[in-house]
């Protein structure tokens, strides 16, 4: 018994104590130099350089010293300290770096919910984590973090730790710390922060981008961020009230207020590449990747960022845009620099100065020479000047001449005097350095001057290689607004490959036949008739052909029939994937309301009859093939259950041949035909015709629109002739209704429709067994799947699920494309 006691004592007490002692020793030794105040200040002031693809040439720097304004503890508003303590660490002034109660409380809460809903880290632990750089998340690193927090507590006062914390938390890609937060979110100094503003800053510490309306793109996203910000602010206020840090009156007043966002300037944006990288780093996707590597606060991580951007390609793209945009603008709008003085105010604020980067700048004309052989302008600017000779006049002159005469015009010396007569001494004109395309950006060179323009026209460039960005230019000045990423435009047929990719995932083959003719596509009470942008060479094409020739009609047809190759189980999986299936905990009524009211799928008698009709067409197909009448199948597949007059008007198809493929109309004609047979009226009847064509023999036709048929082949007949001349039983069934479908097949379709309709009525209308047969629901699943796939491949702009999707009605950025 004694031996067991000793063994357990060693196992449970001595060994863990020895391990902890050794571990503490190692942590202490490792932190010996990094815990010095100078080392901590260097971490807090750390920068994150961004490099070109070569790995050593810098593009720029995040979190540089100019965007990290240190604040001493004495200058930190007391309301911020109270908010921070209440929300993050209520026992901050009582513990020695870690709070056992908080850790246990968070552990229990997380176990109860089955996910992480609370964290047990103290303010000191969060500070230690940022200063000592935590590795990947493990129990070992968590224990190490607790010991590091203890070391901080033994070395520094609580006030000093709060000062460290207030200077290192992440605010935005360009800055960190409390002073930056106050300036960025509210445009004010920290000393002027009120209760609402301080509560918001504290509430946003662990996820500022979630509550930041300034970085959101749409009004809806901005409004959502503001609402989340208010909820977070209210949470902090509630915590402050529970600890008696504020009065009930202060709480109620602050709770009623919105967060008063007012964006303040903390930096001048350098270029769109840095802006884009910053936005990516602030996205949930990259923040999760960084967290997996132990980086919770990028502001103090000191990470280096390596891009795929090629320095020379980037420079060439930027110079190409800056050279050609002004000339294109002149061709479109003419050259009238003297009318743009109002737009030059921003350029004139600092006088006539030549910028460091090669963009047009303003210079004053001091001499104009209009002689044909000596034509030139002499200009000057602050601390400089130069001559614009004929070669410098030529680019703008050529664009000006084309705008006035035509694109065929060629600018020669004889045109130069005419252009120069528009200028006078003292005028301000935009000029630019003439730099060879292949000359590197930082190399010394002798550059000539050229006449230029500051364009109203704008543009953007993204250059890709093997899926990697090699260059990105966001506009003429390449700052403030990134047209490569944020400007949206309709990009047409670029969406067609998404439809083909979706089809390949849904059991289609690249050689499967697609119908390539004008058809009506009905969806949720609307009718869509796509138009070709060229004359189709065939009514049926393969997917490969459709892609190579950019066939509009075939691609829309494929989208409409996207899930036709799936069985019920596979179709259900796709519906679940795009959020249209019934969730496990969702009641039938809730699901019905969602599909009907939110998604617009109405399952009424007409929809059930149409579903029964679609199923009937599939059911009789085998019989038709068995009878050797495959030629009927093409017209059978084109039939719609109901093409009403409103459908025709909506699609602009009144009196169009496509309207012949209306099953209800054909059924009506079928009944009329049989009534005529019964009457056997001896006089001529305008709706009966006979036609004889090589290869198919005699065909008896009943139609109300003979103008759609080949009139040369039609001979009007009477029912009496039918009885006397046409032999065989059930002759009525052999009559071709509108020369499309034999009456007997229409009879068979109607029989199947009745049976299928009765079967559908045995299920709840919004059960998946019924919805899987309803055309509107199937089409909605098809459209939702291509939208889902678009998002998966990187298109973040919300897309409308419409039948014209392959033709590009949705506007996206060229970056997404």
Q: What is the pLDDT of residues 196-207, one digit of tens each?
A: 999 999 999 888
**pLDDT range class, residue 466, cuts 50, 70, 90:** confident
The answer to whether residues 89 and 122 touch, using CB atoms and an 8 Å cutoff, is yes
Identify the bridge partners of residue 472 per DSSP, sorted by sequence position: 462
The whole-angstrom separation of Cα 646 and Cα 659 is: 11
Lowest mean pLDDT among 34-43, 160-169, 491-500, 677-686: 677-686
The whole-angstrom separation of Cα 516 and Cα 558 is: 10
Q: How many helices (H) and strands (E) does the chain have?
A: 31, 23
44 compared with 373, residue with greater pLDDT: 373
- Residue pLDDT, tens place only, 505-537: 999 999 999 999 988 899 998 889 898 888 888
The predicted structure's pLDDT at residue 111: 59
The predicted structure's pLDDT at residue 553: 95
Which of 98-102, 298-302, 613-617 reaches the highest mean pLDDT? Answer: 613-617
pLDDT higher than threshold 70 for residue 294: no
The whole-angstrom separation of Cα 710 and Cα 703 is: 12
Can you read off the two tokens belonging to residue 802? 């419409």
pLDDT higher than threshold 90 for residue 109: no
The predicted structure's pLDDT at residue 333: 85
Can you read off the two tokens belonging to residue 116? 């992480």
Mean pLDDT over the full length of the chain: 81
The answer to whether residues 782 and 763 touch, using CB atoms and an 8 Å cutoff, is no
The answer to whether residues 211 and 232 touch, using CB atoms and an 8 Å cutoff, is yes
Tell me which fold the domain 37-302 belongs to: Penicillin binding protein transpeptidase fold (1.10.3810)
Lowest mean pLDDT among 88-92, 345-349, 639-643: 345-349
- Residue pLDDT, tens place only, 47-82: 778 899 998 888 877 765 545 577 888 999 999 999
Can you read off the two tokens belonging to residue 517? 């003719």
106 compared with 289, residue with greater pLDDT: 289
Q: Are strands 48-51 and 305-306 parallel, antiparallel or unpaired?
A: parallel
pLDDT higher than threshold 80 for residue 731: no
- From residue 427, give the alpha-carbon distance in Å to each of 340, 344, 377, 400: 12, 13, 11, 18
Interval 487-512 mean pLDDT: 93
The predicted structure's pLDDT at residue 441: 46
- Residue pLDDT, tens place only, 324-335: 898 999 998 888
The whole-angstrom separation of Cα 387 and Cα 267 is: 36
The answer to whether residues 814 and 474 touch, using CB atoms and an 8 Å cutoff, is no
Reduced 3-state DSSP string for 645-661 = HHHHHHHCCCCCHHHHC
DSSP at 596 = I
**Domain coordinates of the chain in residue numbers?**
1-32, 37-302, 311-462, 492-594+774-807, 609-760
The whole-angstrom separation of Cα 209 and Cα 286 is: 12
3-state SS assignment for residue 8 = helix
> What does pTM read for this prediction?
0.71
């Amino acid at each position: 018994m004694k031996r067991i006691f000793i063994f357990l004592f060693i196992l449970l007490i001595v060994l863990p104590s020895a391990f902890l002692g050794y571990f503490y020793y190692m942590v202490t030794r490792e932190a010996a130099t990094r815990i010095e105040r100078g080392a901590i200040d260097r971490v807090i002031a750390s920068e994150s350089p961004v490099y070109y693809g070569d790995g050593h040439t810098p593009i720029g720097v995040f979190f540089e010293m100019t965007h990290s304004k240190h604040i001493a503890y004495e200058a930190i508003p007391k309301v911020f300290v109270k908010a921070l303590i209440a929300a993050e660490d209520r026992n901050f002034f009582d513990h020695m770096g870690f709070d056992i109660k908080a850790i246990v409380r968070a552990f229990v809460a997380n176990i109860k919910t089955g996910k992480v809903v609370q964290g047990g880290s103290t303010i000191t632990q969060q500070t230690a984590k940022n200063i000592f750089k935590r590795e990947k998340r493990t129990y070992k690193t968590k224990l190490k973090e607790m010991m590091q927090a203890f070391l901080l507590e033994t070395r520094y006062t609580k006030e000093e730790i709060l000062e460290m914390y207030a200077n290192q938390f992440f605010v935005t890609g360009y800055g960190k710390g409390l002073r930056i937060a106050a300036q960025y979110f509210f445009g004010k100094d920290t000393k002027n922060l009120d209760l609402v503003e301080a509560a918001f800053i504290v509430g946003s510490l662990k996820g500022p981008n979630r509550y930041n309306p300034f970085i959101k793109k749409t009004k809806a996203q901005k409004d959502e961020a503001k609402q989340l910000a208010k909820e977070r602010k209210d949470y902090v206020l509630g915590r402050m009230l529970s600890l008696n840090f504020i009065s009930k009156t202060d709480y109620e007043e602050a709770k009623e207020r919105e967060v008063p966002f007012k964006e303040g300037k903390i930096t001048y944006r350098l270029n769109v590449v840095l802006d884009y990288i910053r936005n990516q780093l602030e996205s949930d996707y990259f923040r999760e990747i960084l967290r997996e590597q132990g980086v919770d606060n990028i502001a103090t991580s000191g990470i280096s960022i390596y891009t795929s951007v090629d320095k020379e390609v980037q420079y060439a793209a930027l110079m190409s845009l800056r050279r050609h945009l002004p000339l294109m603008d002149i061709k479109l709008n003419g050259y009238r620099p003297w009318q743009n003085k109002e737009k030059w105010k921003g350029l004139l604020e600092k006088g006539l100065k030549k910028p460091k980067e090669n963009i047009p700048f303003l210079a004053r004309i001091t001499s104009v020479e209009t002689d044909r052989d000596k034509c030139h302008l002499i200009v000057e600017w602050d601390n400089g000047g130069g001559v614009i000779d004929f070669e410098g006049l030529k680019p703008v002159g050529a664009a000006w001449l084309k705008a006035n005469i035509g694109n065929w015009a060629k600018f020669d010396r004889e045109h130069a005097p005419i252009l120069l007569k528009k200028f006078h001494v003292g005028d301000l004109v935009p000029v630019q350095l003439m730099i060879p395309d292949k000359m590197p950006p930082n190399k010394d060179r002798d550059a000539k001057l050229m006449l230029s323009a500051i364009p109203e026209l704008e543009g953007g460039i993204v250059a890709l290689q093997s899926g990697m960005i090699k260059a990105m230019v966001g506009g003429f000045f390449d700052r403030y607004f990134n047209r490569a990423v944020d400007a949206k435009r309709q990009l047409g047929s670029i969406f067609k490959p998404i439809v083909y990719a979706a089809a390949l995932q849904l059991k289609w083959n690249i050689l499967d036949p697609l119908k390539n003719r004008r058809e009506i596509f009905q969806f949720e009470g609307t009718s869509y008739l796509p138009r070709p942008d060229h004359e189709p060479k065939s009514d049926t094409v393969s997917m490969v052909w459709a892609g190579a020739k950019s066939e509009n009609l075939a691609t829309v047809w494929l989208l409409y029939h996207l899930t036709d190759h799936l069985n019920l189980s596979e179709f259900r999986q796709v519906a679940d994937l795009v959020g249209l299936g019934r969730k496990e905990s969702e009641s039938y009524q809730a699901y019905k309301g969602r599909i009907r009211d939110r998604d617009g799928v109405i399952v009424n008698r007409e929809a059930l009859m149409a579903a029964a009709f679609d199923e009937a067409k599939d059911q009789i197909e085998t019989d038709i093939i068995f009878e050797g009448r495959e030629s009927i199948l093409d017209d059978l597949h084109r039939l719609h259950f109901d093409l009403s007059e409103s459908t025709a008007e909506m699609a602009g198809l009144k009196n169009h041949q496509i309207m012949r493929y209306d099953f209800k109309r054909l059924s009506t004609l079928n009944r009329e035909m049989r009534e005529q047979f019964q009457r056997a009226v001896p006089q001529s009847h305008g709706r009966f015709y006979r036609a004889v064509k090589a290869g198919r023999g005699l065909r008896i036709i009943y139609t109300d629109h003979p103008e759609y048929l080949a009139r040369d082949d039609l001979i009007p007949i009477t029912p009496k002739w039918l009885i006397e001349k046409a032999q065989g039983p059930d002759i009525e069934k052999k009559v071709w209704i509108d020369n499309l479908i034999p009456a007997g097949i229409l009879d068979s379709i109607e029989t199947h429709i009745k049976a299928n309709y009765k079967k559908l009525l045995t299920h709840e209308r919004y059960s998946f067994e019924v919805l899987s047969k309803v055309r509107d629901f199937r089409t909605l699943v098809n459209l939702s799947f291509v939208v889902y796939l678009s998002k998966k491949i990187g298109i973040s702009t919300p897309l409308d699920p419409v039948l014209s999707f392959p033709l590009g009605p949705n506007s996206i950025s060229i970056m997404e494309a």
